[in-house]
Amino acid sequence: MTDDNPSAAARAPIRIAAVIPCYNEALSIAQVVAQFRAALPEAEIHVFDNNSTDDTAAIARASGALVTHVAAPGKGNVVRRMFADVEADVYVTVDGDATYDVASAPRLVDALVERNLDMVVGCRVDDGQNALTYRAGHRFGNRLLTGAVAQLFGGGLTDMLSGYRVFSRRYAKSFPALSQGFEIETELTVHALELRMPHAEFDTAYSTRPEGSHSKLSTYRDGWRILKTICKLFISERPLQFFS
């Protein structure tokens, strides 16, 4: 740690873990690990491989990441293991598809630490390089689902489905992780809102996937599952309000 980087020096006593859930991200995971090495050299980098059928795990290991295999399919199951297995003061979680701006991680970490927050969300802003990066249909669905959560649980987040977040240890060790798949982002948000955990949101650039890489999302199937998760959480967290 050098004196000409006051931001990094201020974080020196803090244990930071970069936790990266992956499923078949062989084309991008080395890039993501390298970006974390550059942005947060003090961080311990963990890749949680969810039964990939390509060389994701081997490439991540060769890139210097600590690799954990998670057999149970679904991002929710991976997040449960990430928070349970990794010991840190700050957790930076980002998908392994190289679409998020890892270079902004120090800014998000500093905000969490300096403001004593429990969750910071990297709100996706299209970098404008590719018209298909953040399609209009996905933006509309995100606004619809985020708006539903805001109406039911409060909060002022604008990108509830972002996969780029920073968490405090308080958050990570209190999160129950009941969801199995991509609806986990909804559960992450509602957990913070229901426990009145201080949180914030910062704009971060969102880019297209590397050529040849494919999204694991299914627009309608996953959208429906997220909507059902919102309803289930509303019933369990606000039963009196729901049944009345």
Distance CA 32, CA 157 (A): 25
CATH no., domain 10-238: 3.90.550.10
**Is the predicted pLDDT of residue 23 greater than 80, yes or no?**
yes
What pLDDT does residue 69 have? 97
- Asked if 232 and 39 touch (Cβ cutoff 8 Å), the reply is no
Task: Count the neighbouring beta carbons within 10 Å of the beta carbon of residue 63.
Answer: 18
The pLDDT tens digits for 138-172 are: 666 677 777 777 777 777 788 888 999 999 999 99
Distance CA 197, CA 121 (A): 13
Domain boundaries, the chain: 10-238
**Is the predicted pLDDT of residue 18 greater than 90, yes or no?**
yes
- Asked if 217 and 170 touch (Cβ cutoff 8 Å), the reply is no
Distance CA 87, CA 38 (A): 22
Tokens of 197: 């955990």
Distance CA 201, CA 57 (A): 31
Task: Count the neighbouring beta carbons within 10 Å of the beta carbon of residue 7.
Answer: 11
What pLDDT does residue 9 have? 47
Tokens of 106: 């120090």
What pLDDT does residue 1 have? 43
The pLDDT tens digits for 49-102 are: 999 999 999 999 999 999 999 999 989 899 999 999 999 999 999 999 999 999
Query: Across the beta sheet with 66-69, what order do the strands follow?
Result: 66-69, 44-49, 16-22, 90-93, 165-168, 119-126, 199-206
Give the residue among 170, 230, 164, 238 at the shortest CA–CA distance from 201: 164
Percent of the chain with pLDDT over 90: 55
Helix 184-194 and helix 219-237, axial crossing angle in degrees, nearest 10: 30
The pLDDT tens digits for 166-202 are: 999 999 999 987 777 667 888 898 889 888 999 999 9
- Asked if 18 and 43 touch (Cβ cutoff 8 Å), the reply is yes
Banded pLDDT at 223 (limits 50, 70, 90): low
- Asked if 242 and 235 touch (Cβ cutoff 8 Å), the reply is yes
Q: What is the DSSP string of 157-225?
A: -S-TT-S-EEEEHHHHHH------STTHHHHHHHHHHHTT--EEEEEEEE-PPPTT------HHHHHHH
